[in-house]
Amino acid sequence: GGAKGQTSGRGPGFPLPQPPLPSTFTHDHLTGLREVSYDPKLATLVSNPVRELVQLRNGTLASEQNVRVAPGTPHVVPGTGAPADASTADVVLRIALPNATSTAAAVGVSVLANVSAGAPFGGILTIVNFSAPDANGTMTALASIRTLNPCGSGSEGLVQASFPILNGEAALDLRILVDRSVVEVFVQGGRAVFSKTFAPSIIYVPDTHVALQAWGGEVLTLETIDVHSMGCGWTDPPWQPHPQL
């Protein structure tokens, strides 16, 4: 436990266009320092950002509680779009689990999203599809991440991973780290983890909204969401090829 590592000597915000790494913890690249630990409840490894990243938070762009998100009515988090800038942000949210789960119930969180007529489009979208609990009360949920077309239709780069929500757990926890061309998502304490890289010069993201959407027949409750702005972690600007711990 407590192992820390970084691949290819790359720092946050400097992805390389190479094939995905052969890891259950990442899609495109392991772009930042992570802590790998053993979860005794699952009898397996989970992965989360190193705790030092919290020290890079330099302000709060948004903070909300008990927001109802109805299917077909997206909730755009105030304070995350222009003139504010959530293109480098630490997003932490907690969503109450559906009361009557079914394969149709799902929640999505968009970052780096544009907004037109109140509806978000473009950016990076993370979706969690809920399921009915098994006989032991454990739900096998399906998480996914994709890059949305900035023109408002279609997506690419879909990656999926299943993870458990255990009996007695009442909420879905997500942490999303945004660093302009890199988005990293940590689901339910690192049980599923995604890295999504893209080139802003090609997939242009003119805005930085955070937005939530629900699908299925049930209104979901966003218990809490905090969007923190982030500063630079490098001591020698603009970046270090061999960062020191």
Classify burial at 117, counting beta carbons within 10 Å of its beta carbon; exposed 0-12, middle 13-18, buried 19 or more: exposed
Nearest to 85 by CA among 11, 178, 151: 178
Tens digits of per-residue pLDDT, 131-176? 988 899 999 999 999 988 877 678 888 999 999 999 999 999 999 9
Average pLDDT in the chain: 81
Strands, E, within the chain: which ranges?
3-5, 34-39, 44-49, 57-69, 75-76, 88-96, 106-116, 119-121, 123-129, 139-148, 155-165, 171-179, 182-187, 192-197, 209-215, 220-230
**pLDDT exceeding 70 applies to what percent of the chain?**
76
Q: Is the pTM above the cut of 0.75?
A: yes
User: In the structure, what pLDDT confidence band is assigned to residue 20 with cuts at 50, 70 and 90?
Assistant: very low
Give the pLDDT of residue 103: 57
Helix (H, G, I), strand (E, B) or coil at 55: helix
- The C-alpha atoms of residue 36 and residue 50 are separated, in whole angstroms, by 9
pLDDT value for 233? 65
Using 50, 70 and 90 to split pLDDT, how confident is the model at 180? confident
Residue type at position 1: G
Q: If we measure between CA atoms, which residue out of 44, 48, 217 comes closest to residue 130?
A: 217
pLDDT in the model for residue 182: 85
Res. 26: pLDDT tops 60: no
Considering just the CA atoms, what is the radius of gyration of the chain in Å?
17
pLDDT class of 46 with cuts at 50, 70, 90: very high
pLDDT tens for residues 192-223? Answer: 999 987 655 555 556 889 999 999 888 999 99
